[in-house]
């Protein structure tokens, strides 16, 4: 054996019921690493699976859940047309060395119908995605908590693509004392810069050209911050300049936030987050930025203006 992942050992075991999962889980070697997904697996998920394989180490086990969770879809959202590609998903899980795939039915996950007791995502769950998708994070956290209980992993892996989700999952783990380590994985992008998403398949070539404005705007904000004098307002303005030039992109929000709380960002590490619709497809994306103190941009511009020839006396 060459030693590196993906591991040999045959395709993963596919289980569809909680009872089958419990039996299979009991036989797994630890550490167990869980990768929760809604299926229609793509290169972004592949990165999560690869990271999970590394975190599990040579002896541990990767468990993948595939479940399109109705609790996190609004009444006008795409639950019924959400892509389902089970055979391809299983092939990817096998390639990436997963040991177990849990793909339950809705009745198996919610045997009593819609649950009455759910996780309250708190105030950060009402912002941004929570504002545009009421009930979304309650649905996400409820199913994540159930999946954590059912699989009892040492580690669970989440993508930074869904940054607010990652923040809220971490907050749930802290606030509810869950015995699991949450590991983030950077956003996978296509060569043109678009963050990979199961929903990208809905984009026509023309839609896709419009959609690219979103990562372009985020890069513009990031570049402004990297120049070293971008406070939150300046970074945001750079992103808005790019978005304004593409009226076909319907922006839901663009904001600079504290990555730990999704509240207002302080100088230092922050996230530039955005969501927008192209036709009927909704896209979300984010990039990390490092913010300068407020007013830093004005200060630097003033310095630059006074640094011309003969301006020495005016400096300081």
Question: 88 or 266: whose CB is closer to ligand AMP?
Answer: 88
Q: Which stretch binds ligand AMP (CB under 6 A): 20-28, 144-152, 154-162, 235-243?
A: 154-162
Query: Cα 114 to chain center, whole Å?
Result: 25
79 sits near ligand AMP (criterion: CB under 6 A): no
161 sits near ligand AMP (criterion: CB under 6 A): yes
> Is there a contact between 119 and 167 (Cβ–Cβ < 8 Å)?
no
102 sits near ligand AMP (criterion: CB under 6 A): no
Near ligand AMP by CB under 6 A: residue from 89, 129, 162, 285? 162
Query: Cα 52 to chain center, whole Å?
Result: 15
Residues classed as catalytic: 45
142 sits near ligand AMP (criterion: CB under 6 A): no
171 sits near ligand AMP (criterion: CB under 6 A): no
158 sits near ligand AMP (criterion: CB under 6 A): yes
Helix (H, G, I), strand (E, B) or coil at 270: strand
Q: How many residues bind ligand AMP (CB under 6 A)?
A: 17
Instruction: Give the integer Cα–Cα distance in Å for 214 and 273.
Output: 10
44 sits near ligand AMP (criterion: CB under 6 A): yes
Question: 190 or 252: whose CB is closer to ligand AMP?
Answer: 190
Instruction: Give the integer Cα–Cα distance in Å for 220 and 236.
Output: 9
Near ligand AMP by CB under 6 A: residue from 32, 33, 34, 37? 37
Rg (Cα) of the chain, in Å, rounded?
Answer: 22
281 sits near ligand AMP (criterion: CB under 6 A): no
Question: 89 or 246: whose CB is closer to ligand AMP?
Answer: 89
In whole angstroms, the minimum distance from the beta carbon of 316 to ligand AMP comes to: 47
Relative to beta strand 268-278, strand 155-159 is unpaired
Paired residues of 181 in beta bridges: 155
Helix (H, G, I), strand (E, B) or coil at 246: coil
Instruction: Give the integer Cα–Cα distance in Å for 167 and 48.
Output: 17
Query: Cα 190 to chain center, whole Å?
Result: 15
Question: 211 or 236: whose CB is closer to ligand AMP?
Answer: 211
The residue to which tokens 């009872």 are assigned: 19
Question: 195 or 255: whose CB is closer to ligand AMP?
Answer: 195
Q: Which stretch binds ligand AMP (CB under 6 A): 43-51, 77-85, 90-98, 273-281?
A: 43-51
Q: Which stretch binds ligand AMP (CB under 6 A): 155-163, 213-221, 233-241, 264-272?
A: 155-163
Residue 253 CB contacts under 8 Å (≥ 6 apart), including other chains: 128, 131, 132, 273, 274, 275
Near ligand AMP by CB under 6 A: residue from 196, 237, 290, 296? 196
238 sits near ligand AMP (criterion: CB under 6 A): no
Residue 156 CB contacts under 8 Å (≥ 6 apart), including other chains: 33, 34, 35, 36, 144, 148, 169, 180, 181, 182, 183
Residue 78 CB contacts under 8 Å (≥ 6 apart), including other chains: 199
236 sits near ligand AMP (criterion: CB under 6 A): no
Handedness of CA 82, 219, 214, 143 (dihedral sign): positive
Binding site for ligand AMP (CB under 6 A): 37-38, 44-45, 47-48, 158-159, 161-162, 185, 187-188, 195-198
């Amino acid at each position: 054996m060459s030693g590196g992942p993906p591991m040999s050992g045959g395709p993963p075991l596919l289980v569809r019921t909680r009872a089958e999962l419990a039996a299979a889980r009991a036989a797994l070697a630890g550490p167990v690493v869980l990768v929760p997904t809604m299926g229609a697996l793509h290169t972004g998920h592949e990165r999560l699976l690869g990271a999970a394989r590394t975190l599990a180490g040579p002896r541990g086990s990767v468990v993948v859940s595939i479940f399109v969770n109705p609790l996190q879809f609004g009444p006008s959202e795409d639950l019924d047309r959400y892509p389902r590609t089970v055979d391809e998903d299983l092939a990817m899980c096998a390639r990436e060395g997963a040991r177990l795939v849990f793909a339950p039915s809705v009745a198996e996950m919610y045997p009593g119908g819609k649950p009455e007791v759910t996780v309250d995502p708190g105030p950060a769950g009402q912002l941004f995605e929570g504002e545009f998708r009421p009930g979304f994070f309650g649905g996400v956290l409820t199913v994540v908590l159930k999946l954590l209980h059912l699989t009892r992993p040492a580690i669970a892996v989440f993508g930074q693509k869904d940054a607010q989700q990652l923040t809220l999952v971490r907050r749930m783990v802290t606030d509810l004392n869950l015995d699991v380590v949450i590991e983030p994985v950077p956003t996978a992008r296509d060569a043109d810069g678009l963050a990979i998403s199961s929903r990208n398949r809905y984009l026509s070539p023309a839609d896709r050209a419009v959609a690219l404005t979103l990562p372009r705007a985020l890069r513009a904000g990031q570049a402004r911050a990297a120049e070293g004098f971008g406070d939150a307002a300046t970074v945001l303005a750079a992103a808005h300049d790019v978005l304004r030039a593409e009226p076909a992109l319907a922006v839901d929000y663009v904001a600079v936030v504290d990555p730990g709380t999704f509240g207002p960002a302080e100088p230092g590490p922050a996230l530039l987050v955005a969501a927008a619709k192209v036709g009927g497809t909704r896209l979300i994306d984010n990039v990390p930025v490092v913010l300068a103190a407020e007013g830093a941009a004005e200060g630097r511009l003033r310095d630059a203006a006074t640094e011309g020839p003969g301006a020495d006396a005016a400096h300081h």
